[in-house]
Chains A and B, each alone.
Chain A
């Protein structure tokens, strides 16, 4: 299936979850926040949140700022 992550297209297996996506990109599951189709996915739900074709995801984290 195809999903949009941070504005870019990505192809994932049909059983992919939020956690799958993070692991694929070598991202830690703590220290990031994920928004799926405009809704925040709680960290504890990363492994059980199945993605669907056409999903829009935002993966964010804290950076330096004032």
Chain B
């Protein structure tokens, strides 16, 4: 990779598709999803151990080469997110953290103010901070000032598979923010991931759309292809749109003469 390197937290990534580990019917499919998607970054959450019932360990299914991206889901304030981030780092799996601060239970929309506060604290502590936020220019600027490693605007509410509803605001972030823009949440179809990449997003994070597909491994492969296609199209530079037709074939030299 030379012209199209993608570096976050000092790590060079060849895939621009990030995946999650939630909602799989069987976590044993996760290694095949990683392989099929080509993804190199994978999210996990932190929860209390059930002391009275043995449960499977999701970590047993995450291939060693994957960059772990723990999230702070469950946090309702900046302080809670900071606490979860420190606990996640104490697990010894690196210093990447996806900040999620949510107190709206209906749409699970992220709290920009608290997210900026948490980002500021954690970036100073040496975390590679990837904040999940609304596609808001001012929040994104504040995150850049706070030391975020990327900005992760939502496409649509978490888990809805509704696609790139925030398209215009994401476009503005791509245009105005120097940090990598990673569209996270709401992406439901490979075509939507492809569109985000065509627009110039640096990466997309997909969990529900893959995990809840009838065939998660096949869907993972489809998302991998879509993200690569979108990125290639962005780099290739799409032609201009026009209102009126513009013939692709010459308009002179017709048979019969004119």
Would A33 and B90 count as touching, CB distance under 8 A?
A: yes
Would you call B27 and A60 a contact (CB within 8 A)? no
Q: Is B207 interfacial (CB 8 A cutoff)?
A: yes
B48 touching A40, Cβ below 8 Å? no
- Interface assignment of B73: CB less than 8 Å from any CB of chain A: yes
Q: Are B45 and A63 in contact (CB under 8 A)?
A: yes
Contact A66 B20 (CB under 8 A): yes
Q: What distance in Å separates the Cβ of B90 from its nearest Cβ neighbour in chain A?
A: 5
Tell whether, in the assembled complex, residue A60 and residue B46 are in contact, meaning their CB atoms are under 8 Å apart.
yes
CB pair B87–A40 under 8 Å, yes or no, is yes
Number of interface residues of A (CB under 8 A): 23
Residues of the A chain whose Cβ atoms lie less than 8 Å from the Cβ of B23 = 64, 66
A1: chain B residues within 8 A (beta carbon) = none
Q: Is the CB of B44 within 8 A of A40?
A: no
A31 to B68, CA, bound (A): 13
| Given A33-B91, A65-B22, A65-B73: A60 in contact with B51 (beta carbons within 8 A) | no
Question: Judging by beta carbons under 8 Å apart, are A63 and B47 in contact?
Answer: yes
Give the Cβ gap from B84 to chain A, nearest Cβ, in Å: 9
**Does A13 count as interface, using CB distance less than 8 angstroms?**
no
The CA-CA distance from A31 to B70 in the complex, in Å, is 13
Q: Interface extent on B, as a size class? A: 35 or more
Bound Cα distance A43, B122 (Å): 21
For A40, list chain B residues within 8 Å (CB): 86-87, 90
- Chain A 30-66 near chain B by CB (<8 Å), digits 1 or 0: 0111010000101100000000000000111111111
Q: How far is the CB of B188 from the nearest CB of chain A, in Å?
A: 13
CA distance in complex: A25, B45 (Å)? 22
Shortest Cβ gap from A47 to chain B (Å) = 16
* Distance (whole angstroms) from the CB of B24 to the closest CB of chain A: 6
Interchain CB contact under 8 A, A62 and B90: no
Q: Mark B140-166, 1 if CB is under 8 A from A, else 0.
A: 000000000000000000110000000
A40 to B87: give the CA distance in the assembly, Å: 7
A-contact 0/1 string along B70-113, CB 8 Å cutoff: 11010000000000001110111100000000000000000000
The reply to whether A42 and B90 form a contact with Cβ atoms under 8 Å apart is yes
Enumerate chain B residues within 8 angstroms of A5, measured Cβ to Cβ.
51
Query: Which residues of chain A have a CB within 8 Å of any CB of chain B?
Result: 5-8, 25-27, 31-33, 35, 40, 42-43, 58-66
Binding site for A on B (CB under 8 A): 20-24, 27, 43-49, 51, 54, 57-59, 68, 70-71, 73, 86-88, 90-93, 158-159, 185, 205, 207-208
- Please give me the 6 A-B residue pairs with the lowest Cβ-Cβ distance, nearest first: A65-B45, A66-B207, A66-B20, A64-B21, A62-B44, A64-B22
